């Protein structure tokens, strides 16, 4: 009989924190799972740590795979999806970890909501010595695709659990997306297929936010997210009669993404970069007032 859950972790050069993730899966109060671990071409001691863990915990249903070359975030996760046999697939990034009741809580939610395909939960966000509560909103299941596209991503990869047939139907993560936009794109495609989403409003894991500085990489990420969103808006424009409203939303949302990026740069005191990104935001929507406010605050160093 297949397990209820397939847990997938793809790790690359994660020797500093992989053991904590592995232990958090081992310590789950709900034991009906297989654990698929992909060493995604690590060049440090990651594979040795995982292999030793698997040998010391032979009672667990662990399936360990070692790739000589890194296949990227999407490639590693897709390898786990392809090898999974559970009814629901859970992802745990190597630098995150779960609380011991995570799978038990998810199982209870599944039993109470059997017609839902995607489950997610809140997380504690840890940056340095600071912990904040990451609350994610409920999705409007009457139009989940439009909700995610118009209102933004509210699903965290290490907090999401998806019916196996749903994620396999969209062929997992898009290998061509490599700048951190691949997860949002996957959720959008799943929503477009009619999946229903359920949010558990309590923290069941930790998202470790590494690095304290905002850099040009955030601009690259924002450019990639915007390009991905444009593709989805193009699809919506082809399939919906509300073209004028969609075009209006498109301008606002693309401007909003750049405005958010610029604000982070400004708060990190990268004023020149912030100004350029605010201007880019206004090129998408000259009426987006938050970009004007952001430009003023950036000028005043606030």
Closest CA relative to residue 15, chosen from 41, 54, 47, 38? 47
Which residues touch 286 (CB under 8 Å, ≥6 apart)? none
> Do the bridges between strand 33-40 and strand 5-11 make them parallel or antiparallel, or are there none, so unpaired?
parallel
Which residues touch 4 (CB under 8 Å, ≥6 apart)? 30, 32, 33, 86, 87, 88, 107, 110
Q: Cα 81–82–88 angle (5° rounding)? A: 40
Closest CA relative to residue 89, chosen from 53, 18, 35? 35
- What is the maximum span of the chain, computed from C-alpha positions, in angstroms? 63
pLDDT at 216: 66
pLDDT tens-digit profile, the chain (302 residues): 899 999 999 999 999 999 999 999 999 999 999 999 999 999 999 999 999 999 999 999 999 999 999 999 999 999 999 999 999 999 999 999 999 999 999 999 999 999 999 999 999 999 888 999 999 999 999 999 999 999 999 999 999 999 999 999 999 999 999 888 999 999 999 999 999 999 999 999 999 987 644 566 889 999 999 999 999 999 999 999 999 999 999 999 999 999 999 999 998 899 999 999 999 999 999 999 999 999 999 999 88
Q: Are 271 and 298 in contact (CB under 8 A)?
A: yes
pLDDT at 210: 77
pLDDT at 215: 64
Collapse the DSSP code of 204 into the 3-class scheme (helix H, G, I; strand E, B; otherwise coil) and give the result. strand
Q: Are 162 and 189 in contact (CB under 8 A)?
A: no
The C-alpha atoms of residue 54 and residue 46 are separated, in whole angstroms, by 12
Domains and CATH numbers, the chain: 5-208 (3.90.550.10), 216-299 (no CATH)
Closest CA relative to residue 38, chosen from 72, 5, 4? 72
Give the DSSP letter string of 235-276. HHHHH-S-HHHHHHHHHHHHHHHHHHHHHHHHHTT-HHHHHH
pLDDT at 211: 64
pLDDT at 214: 52
């Amino acid at each position: 009989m297949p397990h209820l859950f397939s847990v997938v972790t793809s790790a690359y050069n994660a020797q500093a924190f992989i053991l904590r993730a592995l232990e958090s899966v081992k310590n789950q109060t709900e034991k009906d799972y297989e654990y698929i671990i992909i060493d995604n071409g690590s060049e440090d001691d990651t594979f040795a740590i995982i292999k030793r863990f698997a040998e010391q915990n032979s009672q667990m249903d662990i399936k360990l795979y070692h790739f000589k070359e890194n296949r990227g975030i999407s490639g590693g996760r897709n390898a786990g999806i392809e090898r999974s046999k559970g009814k629901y697939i859970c992802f745990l990034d190597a630098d995150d970890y779960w609380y011991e009741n995570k799978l038990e809580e998810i199982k209870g939610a599944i039993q109470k909501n059997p017609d839902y395909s995607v489950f997610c939960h809140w997380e504690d966000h840890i940056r340095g010595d600071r912990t904040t509560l990451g609350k994610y909103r409920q999705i409007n299941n009457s139009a989940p695709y439009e909700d995610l596209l118009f209102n933004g991503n509210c699903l965290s990869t290490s907090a999401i659990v998806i019916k196996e047939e749903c994620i396999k139907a969209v062929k997992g993560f898009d290998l061509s997306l490599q700048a951190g936009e691949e997860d949002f794109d996957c959720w959008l495609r799943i929503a477009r297929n009619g999946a229903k989403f359920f949010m558990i409003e309590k923290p069941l894991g930790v998202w470790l936010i590494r690095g304290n500085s905002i850099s040009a990489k955030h601009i690259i990420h924002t450019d990639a997210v915007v390009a991905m969103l444009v593709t989805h808006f193009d699809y919506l424009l082809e399939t919906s009669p509300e073209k004028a409203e969609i075009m209006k939303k498109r301008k606002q949302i693309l401007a909003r993404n750049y405005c958010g990026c610029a604000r982070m740069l400004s708060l990190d005191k990268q004023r020149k970069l912030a100004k350029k990104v605010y201007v880019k935001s206004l090129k998408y929507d000259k009426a987006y007032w938050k970009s004007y406010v952001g430009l003023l605050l950036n000028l005043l160093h606030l």
